[in-house]
Structure 1
């Protein structure tokens, strides 16, 4: 099932939104407390692939958040990076939580203080709630459909930069970057020639939130998973930004391309990305 934003007409009024937000805040806060307590400690690391890591902390945090959600909303489905729970969603109004308990695992493994807990909620084909918690900076980004986006309770909005040449753009690289390095670096080369600066932070969820609050003006990345972007996508949407694939089509959480911006530079970003897509071989 593909999930897009904006949604299919459910609108912003969800009777249980306050309880969804309250439980989500409690869950990510507890996970964040645990992260803050252990992030400098030695890590037990497992390799899902050459550059795809998982730690015991990832699994511990997932258990914390899933526990909160399962107790409060046993009928909801949970799709998480390390596993999914609940019956497969079938009805158009089914609720699905998308959880990345530790977005930025490689940073965490190296005690590099840039990672977050990311939790988004969809109803049917509509994203309705998102929260991203950075425990090191004590920053919590929140959005619910139709109600705007906040950072630590204060409203946020995307930047007003209208020229790609004056824009700070974020990016990241997928797990097959060793075998397709030249392909992905081609996009960096193209964007570097157009943008004011490029940043690679290592947490897609925080990249999206940084666009939402104006710290970045745009971001692009390949092959993100739904749990990486569900929360951040809604936060950008509610902060007045634009999120799509590399050709400007509506975001598909299960797609292979994510491009987000303040909106004002989106056409210019898409033009750069599309030119490279049309001139270079695709990866699987």
Structure 2
């Protein structure tokens, strides 16, 4: 396949592999810096920065006039002939996993031309998996063409997601969405790297994905992989213009419509009526939980509140 690659995609692959080599080397040292939180943060910032620097220098060496929009170094517009080209880069998506030695993280590079994603690379350095796509030419994992899964029944589907983790994220809203999805599907997974979640969806390893609070560099490359693999991607109400909206929903076409039906009302673009319905449902659920808690505490002597030794404390 490499002989037929678009030259810009070839450069992006070279950049992603170079960043992957830096990340793999750093992964060998991660053990020794897992002492203090400050040391760990400094270390991960350093790895991020080194990976991003090598990506940017590889891209600009080939295309000096192109614009760059990267997680660490921000956004700068292209000039001259490169004015309409913008590389969108996440040098290491899944940093929390990386810090813990949990091998689910990746490099994500996309090229946007005239506001549309045209090239995409997601590279998983711990597995040496390379996902890539050129608009109109399909999506690939290593040298194999990939397609989204064909499952149509929600109850057979594996859905991946990301938990909100920043202070100020709407946990309540998220828990309501999870409560809606979980009982209806075969399983929910939270691998910890949105870019890789989208690549896995494109490869048919999962059937749907939803997450809020994502930045453009988390989803730019993955969104092209999904659409080139025959899937759909948009915001929770199903509109395709999602890149800067901080909510992302992706799935194979049959599952996508069903997820929009379930999650659309939680979108920040939902109608006022839908949002009121969600608030009522949440108030009802809270009242129910409060009642259950009140009944539970009345029925149980206080000493029973401690988990027994063989029970998980959650």
Q: Quote how far apart the aligned CAs of 1:40 are.
A: 3.5
Which residue number in structure 2 is paired with residue 37 of structure 1? 25
Residues 52-101 of structure 1, C-alpha deviations (whole Å, 9 max, x = no match): x9521011100110110111111001100001354367999610000000
CA distance in 1, matches of 2:196, 2:222: 8
Structure 1 residues 69 and 165: CA distance shift in structure 2, 3 A? same
Superposition pairs for residues 177-188 of structure 1, below 5 Å?
Answer: 180-188=170-178
Residues 140-197 of structure 1 show CA distances to partners (whole Å, capped at 9, x for unaligned) of 0000000000000110000000011110000002343675322211111111021111
2-structure distance, mates of 1:54, 1:258: 26
Question: Could you tell me how far apart the structure 2 residues matched to 1:236 and 1:197 are?
Answer: 20
Larger radius of gyration: 2
Answering whether residue 250 of structure 2 is matched by residue 260 of structure 1, we say yes
Kept in 2, the 8 Å contact 1:76–1:86? The answer is: no
Q: 1:178 to 1:125 in 2, by over 3 A?
A: closer
- Aligned-pair CA distance for 1:251: 3.2
1:8-42 CA-partner distances (Å, limit 9, x unpaired): xxxxxxxxx72211211111111111211221423
Please give the TM-score of this superposition, normalised by the length of structure 2.
0.78
Give the total of aligned pairs.
260
Tell me which of the two structures has the higher relative contact order, counting C-alpha pairs closer than 8 angstroms and 6 or more residues apart: 1
**Correspondent of 1:46 among 38, 41, 45:** 41
Instruction: Report how far residue 204 of structure 1 moved.
Output: 0.3
Q: What is the rounded CA distance, in whole Å, between the counterparts of 2:132 and 2:169 in structure 1? A: 36
The residue aligned with 2:95 is: 105
Q: For residue 272 of structure 1, what is the aligned residue in structure 2?
A: 262
The alpha carbon displacement at 1:240 in A equals: 0.3
1:98-177 equivalence runs, <5 A: 98-176=88-166
Moved more, 231-240 or 20-29: 20-29
Q: Select the structure that is richer in helix.
A: 2
Q: Is the 8 A contact 1:174 1:224 kept in 2?
A: no
Q: How far, CA to CA, are the matches of 2:263 and 2:50 in structure 1?
A: 38
Partner of 2:16: 28
Q: Cα distance, 1:46 vs. partner? A: 3.1
Residue 250 of structure 1 is matched in structure 2 by: 240
Taking the aligned partners of 1:157 and 1:202, their CA distance within structure 2 comes to 22
* Structure 2 residue aligned with 1:226: 216
Contact 1:174 1:223 in 2 (8 A): yes
User: Which structure 1 residue ranges, 5 or more long, are not aligned?
Assistant: 1-16, 48-52
TM-superposed deviation, 1:213: 0.6
SS at match of 1:147: coil
Give TM-score scaled by structure 1 length. 0.85
Unaligned runs of 5+ in 2: 34-38, 268-274, 280-314
C-alpha spacing 1:102/1:155, structure 2 compared with 1 (3 Å): same
Shift of 1:272: 0.9
Q: Which residue of 1 aligns with 2:192?
A: 202
CA RMSD after TM alignment? 2.2
Q: Distance in 2 between matches of 1:175 and 1:33?
A: 28
Report the Cα distance in structure 2 between the residues aligned to 1:280 and 1:199, rounded to whole angstroms. 24
Counterpart of 2:47 (choices 33, 52, 57) is 57
SS in 2 for 1:59: helix
CA contact under 8 A between 1:92 and 1:123: conserved in structure 2?
no
